[in-house]
Amino acid sequence: NEEVEEPSKKIFEKDTITLNIPEPKKASLKPYKYKLNIIYEDEDLLVIDKLAGISMHPGAGNYDNTIVNALMNLENKNFSNIGDELRPGIVHRIDKDTSGLIVVAKNDKSHHGLAEQFERHSVERVYHAFCFGIPDLASPRLKGIKGVSFEPGNVIKISTHLARHKHDRQRQSVLFEGGKHAVTRFKVLEKYGNPQAISKIECWLETGRTHQIRAHMAHLGHSLIGDETYGKRKKISNKAFTEEGFSLIKKFERQALHASLLGFIHPITKKPMKFSVEMPLDLKNLAKGLKT
């Protein structure tokens, strides 16, 4: 009957356990003073080059310091409000620790027009990433992985289904029945190390599911550098990189993934729009360090 708060205390028959559950904190649209890197803006939409480390919208564990809250700090606070009232303007998302391009709708008509394009998978999205190992088209191991096929131009196609993991809601499971259809294509741009042990890849999304590239590359056995959720670090020869290179790989604090290109049809003017941005400094430094 003694009151204890030690988590290591053993539980015995007839013990009474009391749970104190705090009231859930409500998310808000409180303005967040954060400088957004807006690379294009008109009356209907804006395109942002998002830095890694900021979430798209309020949610569990982060209620105020998000892209949505930063949008509320702009002079023009009029954004579409379709669906979730805590996600004004948000047509699509990229992960908190992924950098790169996103488009935001300023009105409902723009939101509908953009959402239809994402639903049809007609939006052009190109990502650059750094993964463990060298995906080799001639590899018998790669050819034997379910869902993998090969296309002209040294392109590897991954076609699976994705769904929330049964026991870990923070990650996606690769499936072949149930879930949502997911297709990723990629090719190797550069190889690093002596012997070669890291690849820079370019990915195209046919679909845009949660964690799609991260889950698909892990399915191949080539998880992304810095991805603690899906990453399984491969053994790398101690001769492959300099001490600086190994340090950069070990200490890289986010998934090495960047949304570098975004193309769509303007939902109002119907003109083709295409935007591209360079990799941020952390990825540039990673690539530089891997070459030395």
| Active-site hit among 15, 44, 84, 95 | 95
Cis-peptide, bond into residue 195, ω within 30° of zero: yes
Question: Whose CA is closest to 118, among 27, 210, 4, 206?
Answer: 206
Question: Whose CA is closest to 88, among 97, 77, 100?
Answer: 77
What are the Cα distances from residue 165, in Å, to 41, 96, 169, 179, 254?
38, 19, 6, 10, 21
Report the Cα–Cα distance between both ends of the chain, in Å, rounded.
64
Active site residue 15: no
Torsion angle of C-alpha atoms 76, 101, 270, 184, degrees rounded to 10: -150
Burial 80-92 (b: 16+ CB within 10 A, else e): bebeeebbbbbbb
Helix (H, G, I), strand (E, B), or coil: what is residue 157?
Answer: strand
Tell me the β-bridge partners of 187: 202
Q: Active-site positions? A: 95
